[in-house]
C-alpha cells in the first residue's frame, strides 16, 4: 500500500509561500488563478489532498481478481542542488529524471504518448519543464500531448505527484487525456500541445513528471497492463 497526503493550508505555510512569491495573486478570480503554461501564469493555488494505491505483482492481482489500472514500468529521480525555491533554468534536473525513468522502463522516447506534467503555474518552472521536454524528445515534443492538472486541483505538494499517477491511470482506462484548465493564452516559451480541453484518444504509455521545492525531480513511466 503506497500513498501520500498533505494538508498545508495553514498560516505558516501560506505566509512562507507568499514571501517566496510563488502563490497566484489572482485572488479576485479564483477559478482562473492557476494557469499552467499560460502567458498569465504567476503562481499556484495551494491545495490539500490524499491518495492511496495498491502495488502488487501481476500474478497476485490476477489471482485475487483485482481490477488492474496499469503497470509501473520505471522511474527516475535527480536533484538540481541549485536554490531553495528557484529551479535550475537549464532544466538539467528535469531532463535527468526523465532520461533515467525511460532507461529504467526500457522505453524509448517514441513510445511516450502523453506527458502528465508537473507545471504548477509558476512561470519559470513551466518554462523550464517545457525546455527539458524539448531537449529529450526533440521535434517529437510538439506532437506529444502535455497537460497539467494543477489548474483543476491545485498544488497539494506531497500528494500532488500521487494525484498525477491516479489521473494518468484513469487516462489509460478511459482513453481521455485530462486538460490543462485555464490554458487560454499560450506562453510563447510553453509552445507544446498543452491540451486546453479533455481529449479522447488511445494512449498506452505515459510519462509523469514531478518537482519539489529545493530541486528534487522525479519521473515515472506507466502503461496499460498487458494481461495474459
Domain that includes residue 57, residue range? 2-223
Domain contains 174: yes
How far is 78 from 72, CA to CA, in rounded Å? Answer: 19
Q: Can you give the pLDDT at residue 89?
A: 94
Within a domain: 228 = no
**Average pLDDT for the chain:** 96
List CB contacts of 12: < 8 A, sequence separation 6 or more. Answer: none
For position 116, which CATH number holds?
3.40.47.10
% of the chain exceeding 70 in pLDDT: 100
pLDDT at 191: 97
Confidence band (pLDDT; 50, 70, 90) for 84?
Answer: confident
Q: What is the pLDDT of residues 184-202, one digit of tens each?
A: 999 999 999 999 999 999 9
Residues in Cβ contact with 18 at an 8 Å cutoff, skipping those fewer than 6 apart? none
pLDDT digits (tens, 9 = 90+) for 17-48: 999 999 999 989 999 999 999 999 999 999 99
Q: Are 44 and 154 in contact (CB under 8 A)?
A: yes
Q: How far apart are the first and last CA of the chain?
A: 24
- Checking if the pLDDT of 85 tops 80, the result is no
- Residue 89 in any domain: the answer is yes
pLDDT in tens, 129-151: 999 999 999 999 999 999 999 99
> Is residue 170 assigned to a domain?
yes
Count of structural domains, the chain: 1
Amino acid at each position: 500500500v503506497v500513498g501520500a497526503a498533505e494538508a498545508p493550508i495553514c498560516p505558516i505555510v501560506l505566509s512562507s509561500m507568499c514571501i517566496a512569491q510563488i502563490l497566484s495573486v489572482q485572488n479576485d478570480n479564483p477559478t482562473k488563478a492557476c494557469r499552467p503554461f499560460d502567458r498569465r501564469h504567476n503562481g499556484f493555488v495551494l491545495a490539500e489532498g490524499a491518495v492511496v494505491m495498491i502495488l502488487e505483482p501481476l500474478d497476485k492481482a490476477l489471482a485475487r481478481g483485482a481490477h488492474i489500472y496499469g503497470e509501473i514500468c520505471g522511474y527516475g529521480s535527480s536533484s538540481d542542488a541549485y536554490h531553495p525555491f528557484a529551479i535550475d533554468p537549464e532544466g538539467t534536473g528535469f531532463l535527468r529524471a526523465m532520461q533515467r525513468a525511460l532507461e529504467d522502463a526500457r522505453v524509448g522516447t517514441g513510445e511516450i504518448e502523453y506527458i502528465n506534467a508537473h507545471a504548477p503555474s509558476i512561470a519559470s518552472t513551466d518554462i523550464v519543464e517545457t525546455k527539458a521536454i524539448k531537449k529529450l524528445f526533440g521535434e517529437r515534443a510538439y506532437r506529444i500531448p502535455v497537460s497539467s492538472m494543477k489548474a483543476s486541483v491545485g498544488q497539494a505538494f506531497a500528494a500532488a505527484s500521487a494525484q498525477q499517477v491516479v489521473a494518468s491511470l484513469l487516462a489509460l482506462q478511459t482513453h481521455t487525456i485530462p486538460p490543462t484548465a485555464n490554458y487560454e493564452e499560450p506562453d510563447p516559451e510553453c509552445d507544446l500541445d498543452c491540451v486546453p480541453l479533455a481529449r479522447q484518444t488511445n494512449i498506452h504509455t505515459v510519462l509523469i513528471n514531478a518537482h519539489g521545492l529545493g530541486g528534487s525531480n522525479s519521473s515515472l513511466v506507466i502503461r496499460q497492463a498487458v494481461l495474459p
